[in-house]
Amino acid sequence: MESIIKSMIQTFKNLVRRSVTVLYPYDKILVPERGRGLPMLQIDPDTHRILCTGCGECVKICPVGVIRASSISAEGKSKVKEFSIDISNCIFCGLCVQVCPENALEMTYKYELAEADLSLFQYSLEDLVEHARPKAREFWLG
């Protein structure tokens, strides 16, 4: 009998409790501060130079092998030649960001990445600098 009363009390509490779910995609919630979305390449705000040098450290650490990077030498410096991420297999672990010696990668809050065409998951160098600055979390609210 006691357990029935306890269950009824809990049921009643749930009936009047504020909902914790939203009707996505019509309603959206604020992405948690430590949320991790699409990794993006960063640019130097003063020189507009892509910070990535194509060193390949992120390629080595990526647990699912989705990053491709190569470099060229110009005026005694290493510059990124090609860079891409296959987002369809990225697990958003953030290891590429942590290992980068140039701080050239940032996890953004962009999480709406669904595509019907698999080829659209191949993010090129140009795609990855398009939104070069990390976006405010509010940006991804509907």
Dist CA 91 CA 84 (whole Å): 15
Segment interacting with ligand SF4 (CB under 6 A) among 5-13, 21-29, 55-63, 111-119: 55-63
Q: Does the footprint of ligand SF4 cover residue 95 (CB under 6 A)?
A: yes
Segment interacting with ligand SF4 (CB under 6 A) among 4-12, 47-55, 110-118, 121-129: 47-55
DSSP state of 100: -
Q: Does the footprint of ligand SF4 cover residue 104 (CB under 6 A)?
A: yes
Q: Does the footprint of ligand SF4 cover residue 105 (CB under 6 A)?
A: yes
Q: Is there a cis peptide before residue 101, judged by omega within 30 degrees of 0?
A: no
Q: 128 or 140: whose CB is closer to ligand SF4?
A: 128
Quick one: which H or E segment has residue 125? Answer: helix 125-130
Bridge partner list, 78: 73
Quick one: which H or E segment has residue 16? Answer: helix 2-16
Q: Does the footprint of ligand SF4 cover residue 128 (CB under 6 A)?
A: no
Q: 18 or 77: whose CB is closer to ligand SF4?
A: 77
Name the residue among 48, 46, 67, 49 with its Cα closest to residue 57.
67
Print burial letters for 63-83: b (CB count within 10 Å at least 16), e (below 16).
Answer: eeebbbbebeeeeeeeebeeb
Q: Does the footprint of ligand SF4 cover residue 55 (CB under 6 A)?
A: yes
Q: 39 or 140: whose CB is closer to ligand SF4?
A: 39
Which spans of this chain sit near ligand SF4 (rule: CB under 6 A)?
A: 39, 52-58, 62-64, 66-67, 69, 80, 85, 90-96, 99-100, 102, 104-105
